[in-house]
Every structure is written in C-alpha cells, then in structure tokens.
C-alpha cells in the first residue's frame, strides 16, 4: 500500500494550477474527464522527492453531482487522499472485519477498482483505496515525460499555466488535525500501513516508503482533517493559500 496523491476540490482549477506552477515550480502531469468531475494531477517536486496533488473540478454534474455537492457544503479545499493497493478485494474484507464500512465500492472495471472510507471513520478525511488492473504507466515515467514533453490528457481541459518557477519546491508532507492521536496513529499506521518515523505526545509522523509520501498527525481542537501542506521551498518561508488549501513553505 502506498499514499499515491492528495486531492483538492475547487470550482475553478485555473488559479490553483497557476499558483502551484509559478510559486512552487510544480509540473503538470496529466488529466482527463470523468463522471461528474474532471481531474488533473501535478507533481510538487520531482522523481526523487515531493508528492502529487490532484485538482478536481466539477464536470457534467447532471450525471454525478458528488463533487458539486461537496463544494456547496464545504467550499473549495482538501477532498481526499488516495492509497494504491494490490489485492483490493482482500483489503475490503480486512476493513470490514475491522469494523469499517467502505462506501462506493466499485470493482466492475478491471483497470480501476476503488472504494472509499468516509471522514467519520477516518478522522476527517475521505480515504480512497484503488487498484490499477495493469501498470500501464509509472509515476516516475509520468513525471519525466511531463517535464520533457509536456502534460498528457484525454482531453487536456485545463488552461495553459504560466511559466514554471525556476526553482522547484518539494511537498514534504500533509498535516492532519485529529481529535484522538492514538486512534489516528492506529488507523494510518496499522490499517493504512504507514511506517511511524517519529512520535511524541502531540504528533505522529508516518512514511509510505514506496512513494516517499509523508503524513503528520497533530492533536488539535476544532474540526479534524487536513490542516496544511508543508513544502520545502529552500528557505523561502511563506504561506500560500489557494482553492481553500494552505501550503506552508519553509
């Protein structure tokens, strides 16, 4: 199991795309159309370091209005985290045996099987578990291709972004506020199989070695869920707020 990407929902993808490209040197990789939404993925970093951000914009909502309803209820902001797995049927049985109630379970497409865990069970953040039927592409190849040949898409629907920043910044980790640190550690560690790299009374750091993605859990008052995205910007300390998401650079 690996943390593949984090997703941000917005009614207009243009501003967040432009901001991550011009401010953080992000690479636009690929995107397309789906039922009720259109996604586009960006790499905030490179092959060796960083994480992938998926931007979601409503599309043909008369067929599926889940994203439009999310935006109407919550506004733009963090939407979900996607974990890639092998043997998703076994993971479904494992989750159900542990008392979880996966939703929107869809294994009908052998090329893309998925299910979701709802925020009430996952400390405020939608969790998607997905399995690709065949490794048609690799993340590293997608990053390299986008850097040299430009993004791919079926179709390329997003506005052409402005020139990239000369200096690449690296999305280091996602920070979540959780009301119960021990229970959240068990979920992200034992259930989602993250490797605990540091822990104290107020926070837990986890790593998924295959993708290099990192999550920090912090105890905090208020609503649970994604609080911020921490970015290594080479000492250029600032806070970037766009599409309801907060990128804290240092």
Q: Per residue in 57-97, pLDDT tens?
A: 999 999 999 999 999 999 999 999 999 999 999 999 999 99
For the segment 39-58, the average pLDDT, to the nearest whole number, is 97
Mean pLDDT (the chain) is: 96
pLDDT value of position 138: 80
Bridge partners for 249 per DSSP: 231, 238
Query: Domain limits at 28?
Result: 2-249
d(CA 8, CA 246): 11
Q: Of residues 222 and 137, which shows the higher confidence score?
A: 222
Q: What is the CATH number of the domain that holds 74?
A: 3.10.180.10
In angstroms, the Cα distances linking 182 to 16, 178, 187, 201, 249 are: 34, 10, 9, 9, 28
Predicted confidence (pLDDT) at residue 137 exceeds the cutoff of 80: no
Using the 8-state DSSP alphabet, how is residue 190 labeled? Answer: I
pLDDT tens string 88-132? 999 999 999 999 999 999 999 999 999 999 999 999 999 999 999
Nearest of 145, 170, 172, 111 to residue 29 by alpha carbon: 145
Predicted confidence (pLDDT) at residue 221 exceeds the cutoff of 90: no
Number of domains within the chain:
1
d(CA 51, CA 132): 19
Which contacts of 115-119 are long-range, i.e. CB under 8 A and separated by 24 or more positions?
115/88, 116/80, 119/224, 119/225
Predicted confidence (pLDDT) at residue 18 exceeds the cutoff of 90: yes
For the segment 186-214, the average pLDDT, to the nearest whole number, is 97
d(CA 7, CA 231): 16
d(CA 149, CA 151): 7
For the segment 44-64, the average pLDDT, to the nearest whole number, is 97
Q: Is 135 helix (H, G, I), strand (E, B) or coil?
A: coil
Confidence of residue 135 (pLDDT cuts 50, 70, 90): low
Predicted confidence (pLDDT) at residue 156 exceeds the cutoff of 90: yes
Predicted TM-score (pTM) of the model is 0.97
d(CA 129, CA 102): 10
Q: Is 184 helix (H, G, I), strand (E, B) or coil?
A: helix
């Amino acid at each position: 199991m690996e943390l593949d990407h984090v997703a941000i929902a917005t009614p207009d993808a243009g501003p967040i795309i432009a901001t991550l490209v011009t401010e953080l040197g992000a690479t636009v990789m690929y995107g397309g159309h789906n039922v009720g939404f259109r996604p586009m993925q960006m790499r905030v970093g490179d092959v060796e370091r960083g994480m992938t951000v998926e931007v979601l914009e409503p599309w043909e909502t008369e067929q599926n209005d889940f994203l439009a309803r999310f935006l109407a209820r919550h506004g733009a902001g963090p939407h979900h985290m996607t974990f890639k797995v092998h043997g998703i049927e076994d993971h479904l049985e494992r989750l159900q045996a542990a008392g979880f109630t996966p939703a929107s379970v869809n294994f009908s497409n052998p090329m893309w099987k998925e299910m979701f865990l709802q925020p009430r069970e996952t400390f405020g953040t939608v969790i998607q578990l997905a399995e690709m039927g065949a490794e048609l592409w690799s993340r590293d190849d997608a990053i390299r291709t986008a850097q040299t040949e430009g993004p791919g898409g079926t179709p390329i629907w997003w506005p052409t972004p402005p020139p990239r920043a000369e200096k690449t910044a690296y999305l280091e980790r996602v920070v979540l506020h959780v009301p119960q640190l021990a229970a959240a550690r068990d979920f992200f560690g034992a259930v989602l199989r993250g490797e605990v790299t540091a822990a104290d009374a107020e926070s837990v750091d986890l790593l998924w070695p295959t993708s290099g993605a990192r999550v920090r859990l912090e105890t905090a008052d208020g609503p649970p869920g994604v609080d911020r995205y921490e970015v290594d910007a080479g000492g250029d300390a600032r806070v970037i707020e766009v599409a309801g998401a907060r990128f804290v650079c240092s």
